[in-house]
């Protein structure tokens, strides 16, 4: 692997090993293994692949999991009903609702139904709110995984200028909170760019650390970034490629070749951020089982 490429697969593997050891210790103390309930709606192939990767990782670290697949015609009422059943089931520690949802199921409505103590994705407003005010919480997996990469590669964020492109609830917004907070591992001067940002390049060129989570292949090119920048590319885009068996290949939001030439560190796609998201989900599921964020006697 080239010197400046961040190996997310390797760091995720180390994290999963740590979770596996912790699960073993937890079970060795007489507890049942942690249990994750995954919910998949419809037959989006990418979502199916992600949930498959998550349940595979569960197995590897000793976490039990089950995936329920519902048709994309399901109503909001039916989905909320199913979630309430999982909320009330003491044998389930974590609930993962794979996004995106079909258009008629509004994520914010549904996510609030999930018991915040089982919200291993960290998407519930209770957990996002706690993140914003610096209280212990389930931190959403992709941003938390990015901070782990910074830790592993000794990327200093304190006092540096981080530019986040893309303000989604899953990545950009929680990441900007984490990076900017004084009492988190961030402490960076943080700029959050989104679809209304004027003159994107003017912001990006200033970044010491650039995180792109938009879903637009080739959005960022080498000309737009500063020499020595650390680049985290969260985009996972399928572009057609007849030379591949599957008929497509995965690319990020950066034009990899030109950006990598100027970056001091850069994540590849695939093998960068993706495996970290899965590893952080394992960590959150164990935290849920241990009731580490919300101890039962506080409820």
Catalytic residue among 93, 115, 121, 233: 121
Look at the block and give the residue holding tokens 């949930």: 51
Closest distance of CB 256 from ligand GUN, Å: 21
CA-nearest of 185, 133, 197 to 160 is 185
Residue 150 φ/ψ, nearest 5 degrees: -60, -40
Catalytic residue among 22, 37, 54, 283: 54
Q: Give yes or no: 98 in active site.
A: yes
Measured from the CB atom, the residue of 262 and 285 that comes closer to ligand GUN is 285
For binding to ligand GUN (CB under 6 A), which residues are involved?
A: 96-99, 121, 141-142, 170, 277
Residue nearest to ligand GUN as judged by C-beta position? 99
Catalytic residue among 22, 37, 93, 98: 98
Measured from the CB atom, the residue of 98 and 180 that comes closer to ligand GUN is 98
Distances (CA, A) of 119 to 38, 155, 182, 189: 11, 29, 25, 29
Angstrom distance (rounded) from CA 234 to CA 6: 13
Closest distance of CB 15 from ligand GUN, Å: 15
Closest distance of CB 40 from ligand GUN, Å: 10
Q: Give yes or no: 18 in active site.
A: no
Angstrom distance (rounded) from CA 277 to CA 135: 21
Closest distance of CB 201 from ligand GUN, Å: 27
Beta-ladder partners of 250: 238
Measured from the CB atom, the residue of 170 and 188 that comes closer to ligand GUN is 170
CA angle at 248 for the pair 245 and 254, rounded to the nearest 5°: 140
Find out whether the peptide bond into 100 is cis, omega within 30 degrees of 0.
yes
The token pair that represents 70 in the structure block = 């519902």
Cα torsion angle, 153, 159, 165, 166, sign: positive
Measured from the CB atom, the residue of 141 and 289 that comes closer to ligand GUN is 141
Q: Give yes or no: 262 in active site.
A: no
The catalytic residues are: 54, 98, 121
């Amino acid at each position: 692997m080239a010197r400046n490429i961040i190996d997310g697969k390797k760091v995720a593997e180390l994290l999963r090993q740590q979770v596996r050891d912790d699960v073993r210790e937890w079970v060795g103390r007489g507890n049942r293994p942690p249990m994750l309930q995954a919910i998949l709606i419809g037959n989006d192939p990418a979502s199916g692949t992600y949930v498959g990767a998550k349940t595979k990782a569960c197995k590897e670290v000793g976490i039990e999991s089950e995936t329920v697949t519902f048709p994309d015609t399901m109503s909001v009422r039916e989905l909320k009903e199913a979630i309430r059943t999982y909320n009330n089931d003491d044998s389930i520690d974590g609930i993962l609702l794979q996004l995106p949802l079909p258009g008629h199921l509004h994520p914010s409505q549904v996510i609030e139904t999930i018991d915040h103590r089982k919200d291993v994705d960290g998407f519930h407003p209770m957990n996002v709110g706690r993140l914003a005010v610096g209280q212990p919480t389930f931190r959403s997996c992709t941003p938390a995984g990015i901070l782990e990469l910074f830790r592993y590669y000794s990327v200093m964020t304190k006092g540096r200028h981080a530019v986040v492109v893309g303000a989604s609830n899953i990545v950009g917004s929680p990441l900007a909170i984490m990076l900017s907070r004084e009492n988190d591992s961030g402490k960076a001067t943080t700029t959050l760019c989104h679809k209304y940002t004027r003159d994107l390049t003017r912001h990006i060129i200033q970044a010491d650390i650039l995180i792109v989570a938009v879903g637009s292949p080739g959005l960022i090119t080498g000309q737009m970034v500063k020499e020595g920048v650390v680049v985290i590319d969260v985009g996972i885009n399928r572009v057609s490629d007849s030379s591949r068996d599957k008929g497509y290949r995965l690319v990020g939001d950066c034009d990899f070749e030109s950006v990598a030439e100027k970056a001091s560190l850069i994540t590849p796609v695939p093998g960068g951020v993706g495996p970290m998201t899965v590893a952080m989900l394992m960590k959150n599921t164990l935290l849920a089982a241990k009731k580490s964020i919300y101890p039962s006697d506080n409820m």
